[in-house]
Amino acid sequence: MNKKDIIEKTASEAGISKVRAEKLVNGIAGLLLNDLFNFKSNVITKYSRPQFSIDKLAEYMVSRPSRRQVIVKNQKAKRPFFIEYYKDARKIISDFISAIISEEEYWEAFYNIKNKKIQTDISEAKQNICLSALEEFEKIMYDVDFPQYNKRPGRISQKKVFLHRIEIKAHPDIILYNERGSVSGAIKLIFNNDRKRESLENEYLSTILFQYMRLLYDMDIKNTDCYIVDIFNSVIETAPMSYKKIILDISASCEEIKDTWKRV
């Protein structure tokens, strides 16, 4: 993988601009990122059966054919480790929406990250990215109250969920419960400031989340109770009423993915 490819992949995976990614690659972090994204030398194994994150499946749905093949290849390859740039921001925002922390505590956590001493380029990148996400979330933080639900942070489920024979990994950030204590829906936080997201992509994403929750809990969960919160685009939306048509598109794409999976 050449330097240009490493920069593009760094930007795509981390959700940062190519300018920022190039600074990382040219700095100390470049040595680590070069290893991280060099598939030839660092792949331990490849998944034999198709599995996709819901984010990448939604991106696949709106991508050009050449990009689709790259997405499948990257989902198939198992890398030794992955830098989760938004981890701190994700937890803080999730805790705020779930009413675990107050607005005052939210900004206290923001300044704790801002004042943290930085020793590496990767740490600096994570710090800047998290601060940017927390600042962007301020635009919609009063719109994510959802008082009709009881809210708890999501946990990684051990149960496998298959959508058209493709294992789907969703990891909802927040699980929503009704007044009886039954699971009602979910919220998925989206962090991506490197490319313009099409509105259709969020429709696919919210519909996949809706299907995932139905399969995971084997319950008649409503499409209007499955939310996407797109941080950098200030978008909050549920799976659309036209989800049945979208499900047909998703089904066709899953069949295409299974065919591509065998070749890459």
**pLDDT one-digit tens code per residue, 13-60:** 555 677 666 665 554 344 344 444 444 445 555 677 899 999 999 999
Q: Are 125 and 200 within one domain?
A: no
Cα torsion at 211, 217, 223, 228 (round to 10°)?
Answer: -80
In a domain? residue 43: yes
Q: Which amino acid is at 24?
A: L
Last residue of some domain: 48, 78, 108? 78
DSSP sequence for 43-92: --EE-SS-EEEHHHHHHHHHS-HHHHHHHHHHHHEEPS----TTHHHHHH
As a whole-number percent, the residues of the chain with pLDDT over 70 amount to 79
Query: Which domain does 62 fall in, by range?
Result: 3-78
As a whole-number percent, the residues of the chain with pLDDT over 90 amount to 52
In a domain? residue 167: yes
What is the DSSP secondary structure assignment for residue 237, as one 8-state letter? E
Q: Are 101 and 60 within one domain?
A: no
In a domain? residue 96: yes
Number of domains composing the chain: 3
In contact, 165 and 50? CB cutoff 8 Å? yes
Measuring CA to CA, which residue among 218, 219, 212, 209 is closest to residue 189?
A: 209
